[in-house]
Chains A and B, each alone.
Chain A
C-alpha cells in the first residue's frame, strides 16, 4: 500500500484572504488539509484529513490559539472539490467532472471514490478547490451542488466554496461567532483555486494490483 498525504496550501491562502479582513487574526499555520491517495483496481480513493498545526482537526472540543494568542474553537469545516484529474508524462490522462462536498462532520464525505480510473503511471493529481464559473451559472442542480446543502448564496447567486465556522472570545460578532464563507466566480471576485500536487514517485494504477501511496507533508 502506498499513500500520499498532501497538505492543501490553497485552503490556507483562502483562509488568509478573509482572515485579514477580520479583526481577529488567525494563525497562519492554522489549518492544513491532508489528502491520501489509495488505489484499488480502477477505483481511486482520495482520503482527506484536516489538521490544525500538526494535529488532526477536532470540531467543538479543542481550543486552538492563533498567532496573536487569541483562543478559538472550530465548529464547522466544509468545502467543495471538483474537476479532479491525474497527470502522467503524457498530460492529463484522467479527468472527473464531478463535484464533491467535503464536510469535517461527515466521515463518509472525506473519502472521494473515483471509478474507472484508467491504468497508467501518474506523476501528479490536481483538482479545483471551489466551483467553476459554469456551475455557478447553471441554475438548479442536484447532488453535492444541491442548494439544500447550505453552500449556496441566494441573493447574490453562487456557491460558497468553503465554510469555516467557530467561536472566539476575541470575535466582536454576535455570540462571538467566527464565520468565513468564501465564494465568488465573477471577474474580480474569482476565489476558486486550481491545485496541483506532485506525487512522491509514480502512482501506478494497474488492474488487480492494489497499492496505497502515503506521504505526509506539513508546512
Chain B
C-alpha cells in the first residue's frame, strides 16, 4: 500500500513537471518583449543605434543561431560561442590566447562581448571601426575560423535551416554578407550589462559593504583616469607598462596607425564583469586580479613608463588591494551572465 502510494505521488510529480515544462515552452523562443531595449540609466546615447538594422525577434534569433553555429568555421568545428562564453561575459575563461580550428592559437586574449553598442572601435588595437564588420575578423583569420565569405554564404544557402531563418528575418531567403553581419550585430548589440551590484547601488536598490565602499573610493582615486564609469574604460589606448612578450612581438595600436608613439598601446578594457573574464591583459598573461593589482602597484618605481598616469597608482598596500578586489567584484552582473536570451539550447 505504502509503496503504491509513493509510486502515485512520484508519478504525479513527474506529470506536474512535464506540464510545467510544456507551459514554459521552447527555451529558445524570442518575442518582441525579449528584444526591446533601452539605454541603461547613466549610460550615454549609444554609438551604434541599429540604423538601417532594426532589431526584430527573427533577426535576433538568426544572429544567435549564427553565433552558436560551428558551420561558420572552415571545418565546422568551432563557433563564435566556442571562445565567447555567456557565463564569462562572452570572454574565454581560463584561455590566454584565442583558439581556432585545428588547435591553432592566436596572439591575443579573447575580449568579453558586452555593451558593444557604446563602442566606437573594436579589437585590442582598435583596428575595426564598426560593430557590423567586426565578425569578419574571426571568421576569416587563419588562426581562428579560417573561412572565406563565398564559402560561408554557400554553406548557409545549402543548409536546411538557414533559408527559413533568413526569410523570417528579412522577408526572403536571399543570404548575403550584409544580412549575415547585420543579424550578428542584432545579437551582439543586445549583450548589454548594466545590472551589477554597483549599478543597483547607484540606483539605490542595494548598499555596498564598508570594504566595497573603501574599494570604490580607492578605485576612483587610482584607477578611474583610465577606467571611468559607466563602462570602466575611457575607450582609449594605453601602454600599461607590461614588458613586451618576446615571442608574440605584438606592437599593438602602432600596427593600425603606423605611429611610433602608439607602440605597445592596447585598448583599455572595460572592467565590467572583470571577476569572470580572466585571464587578464591583451595577451592573457595574468590569471588573477591580485596579479594585475600587483603589476600596477609596482609601477610606482618603474622608470621606463611612457604613461604618467600609471606612476600615480602604486604602491598599493595588501589591504588596499583586497578592498579594490572587493569593489571590482561589485561589477559582476549575474543577470547578464545567466540571461537565457543569450544562450542557445540544443
- A-to-B contact residues, CB < 8 Å: 136-142, 146-148, 152, 154-158, 189
The reply to whether B128 and A147 form a contact with Cβ atoms under 8 Å apart is: no
Chain B 99-150 residues near chain A, CB threshold 8 A: 123, 127-133, 136-137, 140-141, 149-150
The reply to whether A142 and B130 form a contact with Cβ atoms under 8 Å apart is: no
Residues of B within 8 A of A157 (CB): 127-130, 133
- Once A147-B177, A148-B153, A156-B127 are accepted as A-B contacts, the answer to whether A139 and B132 lie under 8 Å apart by CB is yes
Say which residue of B123, B141, B149, B182 sits within 8 Å of A147 (CB atoms): B149
Query: Given contacts A156-B127, A156-B128, could you give 17 more A-B pairs where the C-beta distance is less than 8 Å?
Result: A138-B130, A139-B185, A140-B177, A140-B178, A140-B185, A142-B176, A142-B177, A142-B178, A147-B149, A154-B128, A154-B136, A154-B137, A155-B123, A155-B137, A157-B127, A157-B129, A157-B133
Residues of B within 8 A of A158 (CB): 129
Whole-angstrom distance from the CB of A131 to the nearest CB of chain B?
Answer: 13
Sample of 28 A–B contacts (CB below 8 Å): A136-B129, A137-B129, A137-B130, A139-B130, A139-B132, A140-B132, A140-B182, A141-B178, A142-B176, A142-B178, A147-B133, A147-B136, A147-B149, A147-B177, A148-B150, A148-B177, A152-B133, A152-B136, A154-B128, A154-B136, A154-B137, A155-B123, A155-B127, A155-B128, A157-B127, A157-B128, A158-B129, A189-B258
Whole-angstrom distance from the CB of B17 to the nearest CB of chain A?
Answer: 44
The reply to whether A139 and B256 form a contact with Cβ atoms under 8 Å apart is: no
- B-to-A contact residues, CB < 8 Å: 123, 127-133, 136-137, 140-141, 149-150, 153, 176-178, 180-182, 185, 255-256, 258
Residue of A nearest to B259 (CB): A188
Complex CA–CA separation, A140 to B128 (angstroms): 12
Q: Give the dominant DSSP class at A's interface.
A: loop
Complex CA–CA separation, A215 to B177 (angstroms): 40
Whole-angstrom distance from the CB of A82 to the nearest CB of chain B?
Answer: 17
Whole-angstrom distance from the CB of B107 to the nearest CB of chain A?
Answer: 12
The reply to whether A140 and B133 form a contact with Cβ atoms under 8 Å apart is: yes
Residues of A within 8 A of B128 (CB): 154-157
Complex CA–CA separation, A189 to B130 (angstroms): 19
The reply to whether A156 and B136 form a contact with Cβ atoms under 8 Å apart is: no
Complex CA–CA separation, A147 to B180 (angstroms): 12
The reply to whether A154 and B176 form a contact with Cβ atoms under 8 Å apart is: no
The reply to whether A139 and B137 form a contact with Cβ atoms under 8 Å apart is: no
Complex CA–CA separation, A147 to B178 (angstroms): 9
Whole-angstrom distance from the CB of A107 to the nearest CB of chain B?
Answer: 21
Whole-angstrom distance from the CB of B90 to the nearest CB of chain A?
Answer: 20
Whole-angstrom distance from the CB of B127 to the nearest CB of chain A?
Answer: 4
Say which residue of B141, B150, B176, B181 sits within 8 Å of A139 (CB atoms): B181
Complex CA–CA separation, A170 to B114 (angstroms): 49
Complex CA–CA separation, A154 to B150 (angstroms): 15
Ordered nearest first, which 5 A-B pairs have the shortest CB separation?
A139-B132, A140-B181, A140-B132, A139-B130, A154-B136
- Once A138-B130, A140-B178 are accepted as A-B contacts, the answer to whether A148 and B149 lie under 8 Å apart by CB is yes
The reply to whether B131 and A139 form a contact with Cβ atoms under 8 Å apart is: yes
Residues of B within 8 A of A152 (CB): 133, 136
Whole-angstrom distance from the CB of A153 to the nearest CB of chain B?
Answer: 9
Complex CA–CA separation, A218 to B198 (angstroms): 69
Complex CA–CA separation, A142 to B170 (angstroms): 14
Residues of A within 8 A of B136 (CB): 147, 152, 154
- Which of A140, A141, A148, A154 has the largest number of chain B CB atoms within 10 A? A140
Residues of A within 8 A of B132 (CB): 139-140
- Once A139-B181, A140-B181 are accepted as A-B contacts, the answer to whether A154 and B153 lie under 8 Å apart by CB is no
Residue of B nearest to A189 (CB): B258
Complex CA–CA separation, A137 to B128 (angstroms): 9
The reply to whether B181 and A146 form a contact with Cβ atoms under 8 Å apart is: no
Complex CA–CA separation, A74 to B46 (angstroms): 46
Residue of A nearest to B127 (CB): A156
Complex CA–CA separation, A137 to B120 (angstroms): 10
Residues of A within 8 A of B176 (CB): 142, 146, 148
Whole-angstrom distance from the CB of B48 to the nearest CB of chain A?
Answer: 8
